[in-house]
Structure 1
Amino acid sequence: MIEWEFGTADLAGLRFAHSPMAEVVASTFALRGGSDAWLQASWRARTAPMLPSWPTFAAVLGGPRGAAPDFLTPPPRTGRPTLAEELADVAATPLDQVAGQVHAGWAGHDAPAEIDRFARDPRSALTALLAETRAYYAAAIRPLWSRLRGAADAEIATRARAAAEHGARMLVDELHPKLGWNGSALLLRYPHKHGHWSLDGHHLTLLPTGFAGTEVYAMAKSPTGRTLWYAARGHGNLWSPAPPPGPTERLAALLGPTRAAVLTLLAAPHSTGDVAARLALATGTASYHLTTLRDAGLAAAVRADRRLLYQRTRLGDQLAAG
């Protein structure tokens, strides 16, 4: 267990964001497998064979220590940064800091030429890393980007609505099974880690990150800020186009089979068009059921670029699980 100082006064400085670079880095952790690797099996099977195309990227993010350099994921400046904006911040990192963090990931091991290059010519090595990161993003992340962004937007909107209805504590309560909050500290339930961290005067940015899966990642010592990555609700639905599970008989009897199926689908964010396509409904029919669920407080809608995404509220979750 790690206790991270976070009192009620710190809620005033808390913010949410969705970071392309957090998704990039977390996705490289997912490539190594883990307890939820089966969810991402098809994505991993498609992506892993491409890694040799990006040798510097693979060496920096696939080191034997299993960590990624902090300079690759600075706290986002805005709530919805673009990849170009975040890579501009990465490019501005002092070169001695870049080289030091890259080599730390290989400490005690024989480093490949791509890592040694950061000591000899850090500027050109960083340029290569940035170019390969863009290429990796285009191949591995962009095809999923609308789902990842939609899930994060819906998570943030759900948190904001819960806080408005029940108080600011709901911004951090029940974020993730491995997280807790006792009013003075965030509790990170890492089975083999113990410690006490402080914000050291920084604000905390929460980053819903689809590729985080069942894990929680914390950046507790970055000189530019503090961030915590966790998966948004319904993250498992990001990985499979398979038909959603049908509603329970009790839910269908209460709401009617079609509306119950819509509510069941909204475990993850969906637009009206998504719902219509997944459930073979007319667009007008899907819109009618979504509006009814929203008006009943069972679903919430959030604008994501030009799309309006719907996801179950806490009440909707409770009803669907009942």
Structure 2
Amino acid sequence: MIEWEFRAADLAGLRFAHSPMAEVVASVFALREGSDAWMRASWRSRVVPRLPSWPTVRGVLLGPHGYAPDFLTPAPRTGRPTLAEEFAEIAATPLDRVAEQVASAWAGRDAPPEVDRFARDPRAGLTVLLAEIRSYFAVAIEPWWLRLRTAAEAEIATRARAAAEHGARTLVDELHPRLDWNGSALLLRYPHKHGRWGATGHGLTLLPTGFAGSQVYAMPDSPSGRTLWYAPRGFGNLWTEDPQPAAASPLTALLGPTRAAVLTLLAAPYSTGDVAARLGLAAGTASHHLTTLRDAGLASAERTGRRLLYQRTPLGDQLAARPGG
């Protein structure tokens, strides 16, 4: 058990963001074949064969101690940073810190040449690392980016609405099965870690991160601020291939083929335009079916910025998951 000091007054400094680099680092952790490997089988089959293309990424993030340098995931300055914005902040990291943190991933072990480069010339090492991360992002993250960001935005909107209706405590309640809050500290149930982290004077940024899966990651002492990564609601649906219900399925018989396809798609959050594009529907037709599903209690709608995102409710999940459905 780890206790992370977080009092009721700290709720005032709590904020949410979605970080491309958090997704990058969490996705590399996912390559270690944890308990969620089955969820990302199609993603892994695309990424793993390309790993030799990114030797510096492998050396820095897949070292023997399972450690990722903190400088790669600074607390976001805005709620929706771009990869370029995060790269700019990473590139400004003091080079002595870069070299020290990269070396920590291989402490006591013989490091590969790509890691040794950071001790000799950390600026050159960092330049190569960022170039490889950009290439990795294009293969491993970008094809799923819309889903990842949409899921994070829906999570943030849901949390904000719950806080408005039920109080600020709901911002941290039930974030993750391994996480609890007793009013004075966040309790992280890591099986082999113990300790207590005090307050740092920084606020806490919560980062819904699709690739976090069943894990929860805490960064308590980054110079840019404290962050906690956890998976948004329904993260398992991020890795589905949008299966269409069979023509003779009970779901199709109940809702009709088009509405059944819309409900099936809403395993992850989508806008009207997303639904129309993915199912080849006119925008008006997609809007009609989404409104009907919402009115029936099978889907909910959350506004994030200018977009209205629809996702199945628990009742919709139960209906879509029925045998033969």
- Tell me the TM-score normalised to structure 2 length: 0.88
Residue-by-residue CA offset, 1:255-311 (whole Å, 9 max, x unaligned): x6366875565342122244456677664343124235556775123246x753223
The answer on whether the counterparts of 1:199 and 1:226 sit within 8 Å (CA) in structure 2 is no
Write the distance in 2 (CA, Å) between the matches of 1:244 and 1:176: 30
Q: How does 1:241-260 map to 2 (within 5 A)?
A: 241-243=241-243, 257=255
Identify the residue that residue 174 of structure 2 maps to in structure 1: 174
Amino acid at match of 1:80: R
Deviates more, 1:116-125 or 1:271-280: 271-280
Write the distance in 2 (CA, Å) between the matches of 1:112 and 1:32: 19
Q: Does 1:302 align with 2:303?
A: yes
The answer on whether the counterparts of 1:147 and 1:238 sit within 8 Å (CA) in structure 2 is yes
Deviates more, 1:164-173 or 1:185-194: 185-194
Identify the residue that residue 146 of structure 1 maps to in structure 2: 146
Amino acid at match of 2:34: G
Identify the residue that residue 317 of structure 1 maps to in structure 2: 314
Q: 1:118 to 1:64 in 2, by over 3 A?
A: same
Deviates more, 1:158-167 or 1:264-273: 264-273
Deviates more, 1:83-92 or 1:187-196: 187-196
Q: Could you tell me the percent identity over the aligned residues?
A: 74
The answer on whether the counterparts of 1:26 and 1:211 sit within 8 Å (CA) in structure 2 is yes
SS at match of 2:43: helix
Write the distance in 1 (CA, Å) between the matches of 2:164 and 2:314: 18
Residue-by-residue CA offset, 1:72-128 (whole Å, 9 max, x unaligned): 000000000000000100000000000000000000100111111111111111111
The answer on whether the counterparts of 2:147 and 2:268 sit within 8 Å (CA) in structure 1 is no
Identify the residue that residue 11 of structure 2 maps to in structure 1: 11
How far off is 1:251 after superposition?
10
Write the distance in 2 (CA, Å) between the matches of 1:14 and 1:240: 32
How far off is 1:237 after superposition?
1.2
Q: How does 1:29-178 map to 2 (within 5 A)?
A: 29-178=29-178
Q: 1:4 to 1:51 in 2, by over 3 A?
A: same
Write the distance in 2 (CA, Å) between the matches of 1:251 and 1:226: 45
Residue-by-residue CA offset, 1:144-165 (whole Å, 9 max, x unaligned): 1111111111110111111111
Write the distance in 2 (CA, Å) between the matches of 1:241 and 1:65: 34
Deviates more, 1:194-203 or 1:111-120: 194-203
The answer on whether the counterparts of 2:263 and 2:316 sit within 8 Å (CA) in structure 1 is no
Q: Does 1:192 align with 2:192?
A: yes
The answer on whether the counterparts of 2:205 and 2:228 sit within 8 Å (CA) in structure 1 is yes
Identify the residue that residue 219 of structure 1 maps to in structure 2: 219
Q: Which runs of 5+ in 1 are unaligned?
A: none
Identify the residue that residue 287 of structure 1 maps to in structure 2: 287
Q: Which runs of 5+ in 2 are unaligned?
A: 320-325
How many residue pairs match? The answer is: 314
Amino acid at match of 1:300: A
SS at match of 2:74: coil
Q: 1:319 to 1:133 in 2, by over 3 A?
A: closer
Identify the residue that residue 322 of structure 2 maps to in structure 1: none
Residue-by-residue CA offset, 1:160-214 (whole Å, 9 max, x unaligned): 1111111111111111122122222212121222222223211000000011011
SS at match of 2:76: coil
Write the distance in 2 (CA, Å) between the matches of 1:95 and 1:130: 14
Cα RMSD (Å): 2.6
